[in-house]
Structure 1
Amino acid sequence: MSSSNNSKHHEVVIVGAGAGGLSVAASLLKRRPDLDIAVIDPAKEHSYQPGWTLVGGGVFNIKQTRRSMTSVVPRKVKHYEQAVEQFDPDNQTVTMANGDALHYSILVVSPGLKLNWEAIPGLKETLGKNGVTSNYQWETAPYTWENVTKLKKGRAIFTQPPMPIKCAGAPQKAMYLACSEWLSQGRLKDIDVEFCNAGAVLFGVADYVPALQSYIDKYDIALNLNQNLVEVDGDKQLATFEVTDANGEKQRVEKSFDMLHVCPPQCALDFVKNSPLADDAGWLDVYPDTLQHKRYENVFGLGDGANTPNAKTAAAVRAQAPVVAEYVLSLLVKQSPRAVYDGYGSCPLTVERGKIVLAEFIYGGKVKPSFPKWFIDGTKPSYLAWLLKEKSLPWVYWEGMLKGHEWLVKPEIASKPPRQ
């Protein structure tokens, strides 16, 4: 059954106990409570990462965003507290760090991605001090708010690296919440705010740009496109950017700062990148509509580590998990699966304390709202969308998504299998 003598077998093995892995496990158990499922993840705690923006904005306490892994892994799921060392899809095994191998009928891979702090010289050494912070990790999100409350005057720089990154709106969410606080305290006039974005546009879906641009203007933010952070000197509080001009010429520019909020470059995890499951760029190589691996039909990938061209958000995972669950069960009973993922993703853009631009879209940048316009018009800042983000979505995450409830994300069923 396996190339390893000490392997155990499970019908479904899930790599990663983040939002994707646990949502799939829960959705599978809702459909078939007796299914034999194992999840592999060394973490002892599970984080609600969308909450870190609000931690950095002084709205949430960091402790609200984390729970013990034992409290969120479904009771019927076997949890191996190990890292993954190797995939062997030809023999249907996964080898863990302790040398044990698990044999599977179906493999679901949802390990997330790597925050590549080391890609920017000097960044890791100064992160969490010298005014250098990031909402992209649990440890430093509170330091963002500390910087916001302490800064009276000077220059605050917010950065965004080249795509792909998870939650592409998060770098500017941090900025808007900071500016909202500074404006309310009468300090914004003494603080020069810059948004240095390696990309060529403010936001990738054009329908939401006018509302975001109005806040760039309101807060008098210097919008610097095609500027990529490449080095940080924390002691001197200097940030170096590679600036690309209209002719494609690049030059390096140094900028002093009093506060620097960094969104790090992001890439596939090494154990995925170095496996037979990866594409040329290192991401899980899956079909964008079915999330099934392109070479191994009993392997699926979802979440931030997959090469699907959707926004890497928790909302995308919430829509992907039921599709994967439908496919897994179809394969186990040898039926042709027909569930389809349309690329749905959502980014609640916190443009000020108490208002959100609720961006929702599918593949191709097509807007796909969950609510009627009279209730929430996602292209305009809304207090109702703020309440959704602050009050409802954390509960939906912990009590709905991680427990297999598929409110508003029932998978679309195609009239025939997407591919035979």
Structure 2
Amino acid sequence: MDKVQSEKQPSVLVVDDEADLRQLLEITLSRMGMQCSTAASLGEARELLGRQPFDLCLTDMRLPDGRGMELVEDIQRDLPALPVAIITAYGDMELAVEALRKGAFDCVSKPLDIDQLRALVNQALGSPVRPDGDDELVGNSAPMRTLKSRIEKLAKTEAPVCIWGESGTGKEIIARQIHARSHRGKGPFIAVNCGAIPEDLIESEFFGHLKGSFTGAAAQREGFFQAAEGGTLFLDEIGDMPMSMQVKLLRAIQERKIRPVGAEHEQLVDVRILSASHKQLHDEVASGNFRQDLYYRVNVIELQVPPLRERSEDISALSRTILEKITRRNKESGIQCRAELTDAALEELRLYAFPGNVRELENILERALALCEAGRITPADLSLSSRPVYASSGSSESDVDECEQLVAVLEQYRWNRSAAARQLGLTLRQLRYRIQKYGLDQDLDQEFKH
């Protein structure tokens, strides 16, 4: 037996009540070197799944004895490592989106595009890789454990994910985590800031152009979609994309085809779309700044990133990791500079609200490392007293005295600490600390006496 014959062939289960389609898929998969089993109903599929292992399942959404959605749910419950892809008719897109949210790997539309099907199968059967250390998410708080768990689940699908979070929370790192843990992990990861490209160049930047297609097009050039072929295209700050480009992006995502500027024919592209925004996209839709149909395409699954003030127990590990990274970078530049946080400095960081999130923490520590003496970072080195100690929603930095602000908000909410903490963007523990620090607990006692 030669080497090719001795290697285990991937096994695929095809579930569809159309005999012609089952035959087409069986022929296509066999030519790809795969073993194929077929089922014409939900019952037959369940029987086969209970009898033998498979590496991939392809199922139609509408079956004679039920829906493909039920098979997706069965597999997610009993065989979570098995990728399942949905075959959809034109009018089934809403069902396909629901299936993606419930864990389906991807979907392919009828009539089948064989090249697109082959790309889906190859992606589903690829081997995921792990991200390198620079893109690791640091922290073991409850919000971070939840986030990491969702990343692992989302990496197993091809569903479009929109990552929402405040500026500085690390949305691109999260996108890289999803990509690296997915079956596309060996492919390229292309990150694009949608708000940073001039509107007259954005179509060319995304889809590429042919030589001479417009003034200044001195040579043929690939766009972001071609550069991300086989991998992931990350659309950062997608809420800032001009309306004129949104409709073209929508079509590229729907059809999985693009047309370079100046080209006569479209070309198939195989990319996964991840996006991110610090804006609430549903609010942008309501205000007319973002297309509703594009919103439903890119926001199949929304992943919310917790702000740093909601996971203050991670600050110790985060600070240590950031200081090590800065020290390593300085050493590579020939600068020997190393320091550790004192307990008092660490407590100051834990009590700070971080309106700029992790990015702000990095800036604070980099400056503190440059200012500290004897390898010890003290509260004075952090310079937090000159910064806002709260991050109320939608507000900008204020120079108004902290104590006066606390009193004003506490009085506004009749000294209801929970309501005041929410308004100030603080945890209850942080608010209590400030009440005690400025002697406001005495005012609170007086309030209760009256």
Of structures 1 and 2, the one with the larger relative CO (CA 8 A, separation 6+) is: 1
- TM (normalized to structure 1)? 0.24
TM-score, normalised to structure 2, is 0.22
